[in-house]
Chain A
């Protein structure tokens, strides 16, 4: 439905659509007698700015009743006209006041939104000793400004979409024209436009809809809280997604190797970066497999342990009333409970929780003979090891549990079979046409230079081939 130009009628129409009490109307008449009405959402409109940029200049307005003429007198840089009532109501709800006036079948939308945002700060989940410390915040406009500041190129495209039937959340799709694959961009936009959901409280809601295998255990969308990483990924040819209300940005296509890399790797010497990346992989492998092999060794194949270690283990498990697998599952359960509780608990209780966890549960459980010391050491190391790759923690903790279960029931062969299953699953998984396990499978030799190993910057002259970017070179000219 469009507006009529009859002020009273238009105002009652918009009030019918927006009957809430916090939607206010402010009527005023110019010196020449032209009647205006501003409709705005009270809590999210900057009234001071509205008065300064809209009401004050229009009080002295002496021109015609045309949107163009009136618009020229409004001093806000953000303004545009619109006829459709539904769109106008959406703008009001987004915090942009709408100016109606008598005799004109168009209204003017003014950008005087009041934004409550926290300051740009270092994200707690992605701390870097070296390198930029800025993190995304909950405001999509500020986040796009952080991106724009780093990519001052006309090739950077940012397209805004509204997702969520009720929340009408702004979602910004960012890509570099000519560098990102256009089909991927279109496919992502199409997927976003097709989302039919009530509200989008966080970007993680979108990952489910963007995933090519929605029920997969594996992560399928890259995430970051840091603008420097986000821009670097876009520059490699990926497509980025920023969601209003979420500090976590999404990137696609996602490769598994991304989670073994950190922003700091690019600010330290390459040999150090290579070392830490391999360390992350090794700690993850040990964290997943160590508890499983410990159980399998005890239950099915004692030869897995060196003789002296076997004697030590035998001494410590002698009086334990549980089977090795049950014992390990018990300790793992306690670890997961402590982990979950410590995240949710207030910080001042956290200290007490650590004491209870480490001393009361750990110490006394061993001295009471419920669990053995090796089991606690192994699970403790495993718990720490998983956090070496924090972005994969949801997946790896499930895999560790699955490994424990097969090790307790089928033994070492079960562990190898489950590994083969995982490997097969990973090598066949694709994300927007990109194999998740690239550049290892399929092997892309040149991309290995920035995978688990890290060459110096001078050697990374091309963008990852896996991402199929048309603009291949990133050092020097095409």
Chain B
């Protein structure tokens, strides 16, 4: 029970990981690819699931990322590389955090509150980051079924108002639209790097790699279905619809009678989202812990420092969400494919511990 079971992993890949892609990404995709918004998402999911297959193959070795790097490059280089990974994860965590901040301010309050309303998130995140990654696995056991139910609820409430034919004709936005949609939404797809940090902590069984990839594709299918539904509801105005999953269900007929009962599902998804948003931060703490050892107070110190840094960035970028998102997703987006598409498969070339393999 000290490792992350395959079931917990599948819950994450199929149910938790897709939620982070349902807030701002649909509107961004609609901006670049119009009615073809589902195609860039499908491309991303196909590529990412192949990478996840590679990472999970690597997890069969039972060694952590740091151990693999140490076996190949030696201790010092491995430490440097782990710090680089930690920095990348800190950078990757910025976009989901800013998104979540906007989501909280837009969905949970009638009037725009100050940042103070969002800042308690960092208390939670600091608490979570100080825990081992196993804590996430156990949380997924509960959040997986909650997220499935909530997503199903949102789909049922939204589906009745969608014009699914709105995505036709396929390819109307042209290759340029699809390619720019694919390129500029790369910053939402960093799940394989997160999984790299789970190496050595997964209870690997035969078939875990392809099953994991399939579950990720299943989550991707749900996202693609949502994107189609989203465009089917909003069509031309889709580019302005931030916090997509909170908006698609509000036109359900029962809501006029019962009130916003869809909030039950939205709150459930928001709960799962908290864990997902804190995951890159937790993974970056884990990077440092693998490199420098899990000393007594180090997890707490790192966790507090990283969260304080992110809080500071959130304060600085408080009124510049659009600029920050554009910078991350359009200007320096190329960092993401390096870490999420190129590096993870290359990790298959890392050496095993010779003594153990012998």
- Listed in ascending order, the chain A residues whose CB lies under 8 Å from chain B are 300-307, 309, 410-414, 416-417, 419-421, 423-424, 427-428, 435, 437, 440-443
Contact = CB atoms under 8 A, between A and B. Distances in A.
A423 B268 CA distance: 13
A302 B110 contact: yes
A428 B108 contact: no
B259 interface: yes
Interface of B: 1, 5, 7-8, 104, 108-110, 113, 117-118, 120-121, 123-124, 127-128, 131, 135, 137-139, 141-142, 257-260, 263, 267, 270-271, 274-275
Given A300-B110, A428-B131, A414 B263 contact: no
Residue of B104, B124, B259 with most chain A CB atoms under a 10 A cut-off: B259
Given A300-B108, A411-B117, A421-B124, A416 B267 contact: yes
Contacts of B113: 300, 411
Residue of B118, B139, B275 with most chain A CB atoms under a 10 A cut-off: B139
A437 B120 CA distance: 25
Main secondary structure of the interface of A (DSSP, over half): helix
Contacts of B138: 427-428, 435, 437, 441-442
A49 to B, nearest CB: 54
A129 B257 CA distance: 41
Contacts of A309: 259
Nearest to A430: B1
Contacts of B271: 416, 419-420, 423
A420 B259 contact: no
Contact of B131 (A420, A424, A443): A424
Given A303-B259, A417-B121, A419-B271, 15 more contacts: A303-B263, A306-B259, A411-B109, A412-B108, A420-B274, A421-B127, A423-B142, A424-B127, A424-B139, A428-B131, A440-B142, A441-B141, A442-B138, A443-B8, A443-B141
A416 B274 contact: yes
A427 B133 CA distance: 12
11 contacts: A302-B110, A413-B104, A414-B120, A416-B270, A419-B271, A427-B135, A428-B135, A435-B1, A440-B141, A442-B1, A442-B137
A304 B117 contact: no
A442 B141 contact: yes
Contact of B139 (A300, A301, A306, A423): A423
A26 to B, nearest CB: 61
Contacts of A304: 259-260, 263
Contacts of A428: 131, 135, 138
A457 to B, nearest CB: 26
A411 B108 contact: yes
Contacts of A414: 120
B142 A303 contact: no
Given A410-B120, A427-B135, A427-B142, A420 B108 contact: no
A301 B109 contact: yes
Nearest to A439: B141
Contact of A307 (B110, B120, B127, B259): B259
A129 B104 CA distance: 48
A290 to B, nearest CB: 13
Residue of B5, B121, B138 with most chain A CB atoms under a 10 A cut-off: B138
Contacts of A412: 108, 267
Residue of A306, A419, A427 with most chain B CB atoms under a 10 A cut-off: A427
Contacts of B131: 424, 428
Contacts of B274: 416-417, 420
B192 to A, nearest CB: 24
A304 B263 CA distance: 8
Nearest to A420: B274
Contacts of B108: 300-301, 411-413
Nearest to B259: A306
Contacts of B127: 421, 424
A441 B5 CA distance: 11
Contacts of A419: 271
A470 to B, nearest CB: 17
A307 B258 CA distance: 9
B227 to A, nearest CB: 25
Residue of A301, A420, A440, A442 with most chain B CB atoms under a 10 A cut-off: A420
Contacts of A301: 108-110
A413 B1 contact: no
Contacts of A442: 1, 5, 8, 137-138, 141
A418 to B, nearest CB: 9
A88 to B, nearest CB: 49
**3 closest residue pairs by CB, A with B:** A306-B259, A427-B138, A441-B141
A300 B106 CA distance: 11
A417 B120 contact: yes
Contacts of B118: 413
A413 B108 CA distance: 6
Contacts of A306: 257-259
A305 B113 CA distance: 20
A443 B5 CA distance: 10
Nearest to B142: A441
B1 A443 contact: no
B117 A410 contact: yes
B135 A424 contact: yes
Nearest to B250: A303
Contacts of A443: 7-8, 141
Nearest to B109: A300
A427 B8 CA distance: 13
Contacts of A435: 1, 138
Contacts of B270: 413, 416
A417 B257 CA distance: 29
